[in-house]
Amino acid sequence: MEKNNDQGALQHPLGSGFSATSTATEVIKGIDLKGKIAIVTGGNAGIGLETIKVLAAAGATVIVPARDMEKANKNLKGIPNVEIEPMDLAKPDTIDAFAEKFLTSGRPLHLLINNAGIMWVPLQRDSRGFESQLSTNYLGQFQLVARLWPALKVANGARVVNVSSLGHHMAPFDFEDPNFEHREYQTLLGYGQSKTASNLFALELDNRAKAHRVRAYSLHPGSIAGTELARDADMELFKQMGFFDEHGNMRPEILAGLKTIPQGAATSVWVATSPLLNHIGGVYCEDGDIAELLPEDPTVQTKAKLHQSGVLAYSLDESSAKRLWKLTEDMTGIEFNVN
């Protein structure tokens, strides 16, 4: 019986041969995805767009749910084997509509890459009153997987890939006040807990789904130049975090640690396709391999460090993962029975 990754039991690098500088094209070399169906959220730009290009070039049919259809059609034009459909992860009805249309097509789903996410936003709430980063980065992710479960189950070998972040270091999940109704809102705490939730979800999903040959993973893509993730960020916040100097210039040591977009998409593609993971799931990955489990939780701070690595134990805690699953069902009204 394959082991679970509860408490990070499987967090040991495999020696994949890849690194922080490997590109998505390099990690997929020699892998044929003809006949495979993939769904990639957040595919309009950045590492999502690169992921789509690489998967399509390897032969996969890629469905791209998009909040901005005009932008998606423009940016994805000319890429073969791509289908674009409307969906907004912060709007539950659109998730249901997207999933229902896909299920009606009768196709299996081999790869679901939950790439979409937001960061640095001020306090905003969705129509249910849920904080926007939690809603988009995690709750929408949970709902999408739950609704697409029948197609994942019949694929006879599928992977769910949650693009998480080193940002999970910023905060554990706050079970008492996840939506900042009783505590002061800090955007990085909101982001951090949403990414911790994504890790916990992958852990518990893998534990429940592997009997059906569906495996789940979370990952940190790296700190990447040229994406739209920081479009809502305040320059003063970047200065406070030490990323930029007082003149608004990025510090050289920060710049040196940034990945290109092809490098940033590499871990997503590796996790989605590597045969090294055929019998391993629930793990958190980075730089084209399984990440190291950090020996103990450092003091939680809102100041990010681009050159940190590894996964914190609280985001792979078995009891927290089960508790979060039940809380998420209660919050969303979705009973996700993996059977």
Active site residues: 191
Contact status, residue 242 vs residue 251, Cβ threshold 8 Å: yes
For residue 4, what are its two tokens?
Answer: 């679970």
Q: Of the candidates 33, 8, 45, 12, which has an alpha carbon nearest to the alpha carbon of residue 269? A: 33
SS3 assignment, position 221: coil
SS3 assignment, position 132: helix
Query: d(Cα 290, Cα 174) in Å, to the nearest integer?
Result: 26
For 174, counting Cβ atoms within 10 Å of its Cβ (0-12 exposed, 13-18 middle, 19+ buried), the class is middle
Chain-centre distance for alpha carbon 192 = 13
Contact status, residue 164 vs residue 198, Cβ threshold 8 Å: yes
